[in-house]
Amino acid sequence: MKALICTTPHQFDYATIEAPEPAIGETLLNIERVGICGTDLHAYEGTQPFFNYPRILGHELAATIVATDAQGFNNGEAVTFIPYFNCGTCIACRMGKPNCCANIKVCGVHIDGGMRQYLTVPSYSLVHGEGLSFDELALVEPLAIGAHGVRRAGVGPGEYVLVVGAGPIGLGTMEFARIAGGKVIAMDINDTRLQFCKEKLQVTDTVNPATENALQKLEQITNGNMPTVVIDATGSLKAINNAFQFLGHGGRYVLVGLQKGDITFNHPEFHKRESTLMSSRNATRQDFEHVIASMKKGLVNPTTYITHRVQFNEVKDNFESWLNPATGVIKAIVEI
């Protein structure tokens, strides 16, 4: 079968590899859709911290079951899966947090992913498609990332929630902050993406820190209180460090975005607010199920995010362009 391999930063090569055979406890999937996410883009750029080359990318997947031993699943069924394979025995797994397993293997990051026709995955990772389309199923995972971050933040009704970064993960975070009852404020330096938030996500308040005084505008929006939840979805060190000043007293700052450097902040300013700083890594089955239920209820329409679509044999020629904001890419989908 044909696979697309990221051999080094900024280099893809198509190669013919053997089709996998499922072992006991594994399911063989026929990949139907692959969503391109920030992790894939950062891996291609060489800026993803948990990454080695060569690697087959792809973890936002929709698939059809070819063969499975998973109870309650059937051959031919449309599914997605939880791409964070956990050990089940470490302290995080024993605490019910397999998303941050000490020995985690993320499909498409630590191990080869789904940019190919067939893939074997642990049968425990399967998630029922619940009648959703392949396009929708491919977007469950990135939305679950946002849903998990919102759950980590404990967003409550009426809270002002500032989401920094209006890429796909940020958009999903905004959606689930809204579903939780939060008053969402979108921040980005790309006016096109902020306009997308207004038109597609009904986010009424937006801030562009590159063209306006962000602190003053946030004070105006929140009646001087500032957001009690700030969620970073940029993975930009500058953006992460800068957003500490936007946090209201008693607030929570959640880092969904990831970068390689050290974060810094003013301790007295952080301390006097009794602020909470936390990371949000991956997602859990609870988050996947919440996303799927929200899609089925019509609370989220993820297909509005899809701005680019290519066939598998076109990925190599198009991938570099998705790094350029001028292309207007929100979410690119690959059809296998």
Helices (H), 18-167: 38-45, 91-94, 134-138, 140-153
| Closest by CA position to 136, among listed 313, 322, 296, 328 | 296
Q: CA 246 to CA 216: how far, in whole Å?
A: 10
For the chain, the maximum distance between any two Cα atoms, rounded to a whole number of angstroms, is: 61
Residue range 72-120, pLDDT digits in tens: 999 999 999 999 999 999 999 999 999 999 999 999 999 999 999 999 9
Instruction: Using the Cα atoms of residue 190, residue 194, residue 196 and residue 197 in order, give the sign of their dihedral.
Output: positive
As a whole number of angstroms, the distance between CA 83 and CA 160 comes to: 31
Please report, as a single letter, which amino acid is at residue 171: L
**317 contacts: CB under 8 Å, gap ≥ 6:** none
Distance of CA 165 to the CA centre of its chain: 12
Q: What is the per-residue pLDDT across 5-64, written as a single tens digit (0 to 9) for each? A: 999 998 999 999 999 999 999 999 999 999 998 888 888 888 777 778 999 999 999 999
Domains by residue range for the chain, with CATH: 2-138+301-335 (3.90.180.10), 146-279 (3.40.50.720)
